[in-house]
Structure 1
Amino acid sequence: MLRSMEPFRVGLCQVPAYPLERAEENWTAILAALDEAGHQGAQLVGLPECSYPAYYVRDARPYDRPGVRPFAEVTAVLAAKCRQWRYWLAAGLAVPHPDGSLTNSGLVFDPAGEIRGRYDKSFLWHFDARWFRRGREFPVWDAGFARFGVLICADARQPEVARALAVNEAEVILDLTAWVSWGRTMTELSTTQCEYLVPVRAFENGVWIAAADRFGPEGTSLVYAGRSSVYDPEGV
């Protein structure tokens, strides 16, 4: 059962999509969005799926490519932003591991800049299955003002991912996403996830869901809808 929560402010960083070759432009946009969230007084911030270095990473070693910042540098800067603005951050990143594998993850930082854990995308879909290792754990963090968990994009297509987080006592779920979309114009871009699936996940489990999405084209084959949204426990 949800406890009574005092109001708090969520920042959803709807950043433009960039291909891997434009990682530095992408990084600049990410930092600007994180600063804007801080200026707006956000206490809990979400960066979309694979915000850095890209979603279409092409292989399991994207951080070895020219122009991509080292992963340790990326996490150090994100930690500094959390300390600067005193917020919790769930950052959608491609995360490399010592065994050479890569996960599509939400890395969670606290306001002191400490990494408090990681959620790895469980339901790998399309490009994901080529180079990412699937996750099998569904952690929840207590931020004081709320208990929150993370799911990533296509995880919302599977009822049990959100359900596992709710069973683990999440009150809020951050959906770090890259909603592949359709539409005749940029303003008409949409997806069944934001219109139907995510509201249903919120209603099924009686939780708040806050979805942070990328927008626009990444390369020549992917277009993201934007449509970052907050859904209440009734799916509205």
Structure 2
Amino acid sequence: MRIGACQTPELIEDVPAALAVVESFAHAPDASGVDLLLFPECFLQGYLVTPDFLSRNALELGSAAFAAVLSRLAPIRQTLVLGMIERQGDEFFNSAAVITGGEVVGVYRKTHLTSGERAFTAGRDYPVFEAGGVRFGINICADTRFTAAARAVAAQGCRVLLVPAQNMMRHRSAQFWRPMHNAIRAERARETGMWLISADVTGRRDDQRIGYGPTSVISPNGQVLAQVPALTVGMVTT
């Protein structure tokens, strides 16, 4: 299985533009041999976590609005792992949907929420998936700070851990965390023996916030084998 991890611009409350970005990566020359494309955390609607934003933008997987999203994605050949804000009844989830041929194969819901994500409900399960004969699971961003989240995936025979992330931060926090993301994820790779592949946003939201990434490929022994340069929109494949 060949995986493409996509480092994208940050888009807020613009689903059509987000879908256009997905299409652009899917049809890029570098994606011609790619079986699966990974996109950042909450990429579809954007990562703002106020109750008002979630209420306006969250999508139920069975809704007509999400059916329209799936219809647009149906022509894409690759399996997609797409970060989104999911609604189920009165609850909101920070989710990653696995989509093939315009159909939802399954969904992972972030289990370890940060202090700023109180409007979300934490997920409880670690579903696993398969593409190209390779079994994989998902952790979302801060999940990777917890050994148990990666081990729950590895215990089900997965060879790959996919990590949608969103690290658009205030400048001081972004500088503090910048060298730590890959270091933390490398620990999870070494502990579990899985490949770990992350996808993140990059660029500037405003004068206060910046996103460096990283969008990276980390081997089972913790080596960073490939990475999209900071502040660059692009894709790395493995």
* TM-score interval, normalised by the smaller of the two chains: 0.7 to 0.9
- Residue correspondence of structure 1 range 55-204 to structure 2 within 5 A: 55-59=47-51, 62=54, 64=56, 72-74=64-66, 76-78=68-70, 80-81=72-73, 83-97=74-88, 99-110=89-100, 112-129=101-118, 131-180=119-168, 190-194=178-182, 196-204=183-191
Cα-Cα RMSD = 3.0
**Residue 93 of structure 1: how far off its partner (Å):** 0.4
**Residue 190 of structure 1: how far off its partner (Å):** 2.4
Is the counterpart of residue 48 in structure 1 residue 40 in structure 2? yes
TM, length-normalised to structure 2: 0.79
Map of 1:208 onto structure 2: 195
- Paired residue type of 1:49: E
**Residue 80 of structure 1: how far off its partner (Å):** 4.5
Distance change (3 Å), C-alpha of 1:69 and 1:233: closer
Bigger Cα displacement from structure 2, 115-124 vs 28-37: 28-37
TM, length-normalised to structure 1: 0.80
Bigger Cα displacement from structure 2, 42-51 vs 219-228: 219-228
Looking at structure 2, the residues matched to 173 and 105 of structure 1 have their Cα atoms a distance apart, in angstroms, of 15
Is the counterpart of residue 217 in structure 1 residue 204 in structure 2? yes
- Unaligned 5+ runs, structure 2: 224-238
Secondary structure, aligned partner of 1:51: coil
Map of 1:4 onto structure 2: none
Looking at structure 2, the residues matched to 207 and 25 of structure 1 have their Cα atoms a distance apart, in angstroms, of 33
Contact 1:191–1:225 under 8 Å retained in 2: no
Looking at structure 2, the residues matched to 163 and 39 of structure 1 have their Cα atoms a distance apart, in angstroms, of 30
Looking at structure 2, the residues matched to 40 and 77 of structure 1 have their Cα atoms a distance apart, in angstroms, of 22
Looking at structure 2, the residues matched to 108 and 36 of structure 1 have their Cα atoms a distance apart, in angstroms, of 20
**Residue 23 of structure 1: how far off its partner (Å):** 5.3
| Residues paired across the two proteins, number | 220
**Residue 96 of structure 1: how far off its partner (Å):** 1.2
Aligned pair partner of 2:21 in 17, 29, 39: 29
Looking at structure 2, the residues matched to 158 and 69 of structure 1 have their Cα atoms a distance apart, in angstroms, of 28
- Paired residue type of 1:96: R
- Paired residue type of 2:36: L
Distance change (3 Å), C-alpha of 1:104 and 1:233: same
